[in-house]
Amino acid sequence: MGYTISEKILAEKSGMEAKAGRLVVADVDVIMAHDSLGPMAIDALAEMGEIAIPRPGNICFMTDHLVPTPARNYAQMQKQMREFAKKWGIRQHEAGDGICHQLLAEKEIQPGQIVIGTDSHTCMGGALNAFATGVGSTDAAAAMATGQLWLKVPETMRVLFHGSLPSGVFAKDLVLFLAGQITEDGANYRAMEIAGETISSLSMGGRFTICNMGVEMGAKAAIMEADESTQRWLSQRGVKGAVKSVKADADATYSRVLEFRVDQLEPQIAKPHKVDNVVPLREIAGTPIHEVLIGTCTNGRLEDLEVAAAILRNKRIVPNLRLIVIPASRSILLEAMGKGVLQTLVEAGAEVLVPGCGPCVGVHGGIPADGENVLSTANRNFKGRMGNPNANIFLGSPAAAAAAALEGRIADPRKYLA
């Protein structure tokens, strides 16, 4: 009987039999901690006793959740991380460098690795054919102290997409549709293998968007095979040599196999206050929108900003609406500047924030007022997510977000993309 991608990676990294259901102790290749939950990991390490960190080269610290620092507490937490990183020789990505998941994809992750991070959306790294999963601070501390982590080998759900996405319909629409189908806990404790010709023809950016939201269905990991696009992404990053993809065996065991055709897929929106509360956009077209957020780890890449700019070129957003734009990393910000994308967005009326999580963490940088509706390209629309429990958050693609900014209401973006 064959093995899934997750089983193969976990077996390779643990030296143990890794069929679903087994417990393994695996070497962790990349341990990421960010400024919101990293300090708690450092505290846990101190409580663990006189710990020497065996492989500081496998650890990276990110400064993305609270940049620039909105409060003294967070400034202290970031200082604590900087000092710890300096002491142990840990790579510290600084404020303004970007969102942890984007930086992991740009600088850290390679196929076949085990990646853990103190953030649930660490599963985004699965788009690079790694077993990437979110953990809490204490698990991260245990991995820093031992170089390893215990993991239960998950069952795998295989999700296949066939056909081509219609014009004006994006990876975000696809994954929102999937969340609506699978529901918020439909993949709990499971890995998802996401494949099919639709995925093969997607950019890496689109693949990141999809894997990023795996956890919104409960998934422990959301993994894709590596192909030419993955190879190109890694080569451009400076990774040398041919990429070897970890592939599932033809006779691997899956807990469930789902197949979808996407040729007829329409733009999708997740309504408040649940990510699986998904409807075709047309059903709620016309809903007033007061704030639009384009960015986050889910949709803050150059192609996302470009599609928004294409819709907003030589136009102005409606009066009284706030359009917040946050590139996911410094390199994306620089590219968007170089290509005039930011110029277009700023001329259209956007407020541009520093690469980071921004208002998606609910602390700063765009907290909505009571009764307001937000259309966000982020991954969560929980009540209070953006800092005000009396506001409503709708999730959609960057194109849907840009169209909403133009009209002040939920609108089909396809008419602007013809």
Contacting residues toward other proteins, per CB under 8 A:
16-17, 22-25, 36-37, 40, 44, 47-49, 51, 70-71, 73-74, 77, 117-120, 122, 134-139, 141-142, 145-146, 148-150, 152, 184-185, 188-189, 218, 220, 274, 361-363, 367, 380, 382-385, 387, 389
Closest distance of CB 124 from other proteins, Å: 13
Report the b/e string of 207-236 with b at 16+ CB within 10 A: bbbbbbbbbbbbbbbbbbbbeebbbebbee
What is the 3-state composition of the chain as percent helix, strand, coil, each rounded to the nearest 5?
40, 20, 40
Please report how close the Cβ of residue 241 comes to other proteins at its closest, in angstroms: 31
Name the minimum Å distance from CB 74 to other proteins.
7
Tell me whether residue 188 or residue 331 sits nearer to other proteins (CB atom).
188
Give the shortest CB-191-to-other proteins separation in angstroms.
11
Paired strand residues for 409: 288
Q: Nearest distance from residue 334's CB to other proteins, in Å?
A: 29
For other proteins, the closer of residues 155 and 412 by Cβ is 155
Q: What is the DSSP string of 250-273?
A: TTB--SEEEEEE-TT---EEEPTT
Q: 138 vs 200, which CB is nearer to other proteins? A: 138
Of 163 and 218, nearer to other proteins (C-beta) is 218
How far apart CA 176 and CA 171 sit, in angstroms, is 9
**Residue 242: is it exposed, middle or buried by C-beta count within 10 angstroms (0-12/13-18/19+)?**
exposed
Let me know: does 215 contact 176? Beta carbons within 8 Å. no
Beta-carbon neighbour count of residue 79 at 10 Å? 13
* Nearer of residues 44 and 342 to other proteins, judged by Cβ: 44
Nearest to 256 by CA among 183, 176, 192: 192
CB nearer to other proteins: pick between 1 and 242: 1
Q: How far is the CB of 80 from other proteins (least distance, A)?
A: 11
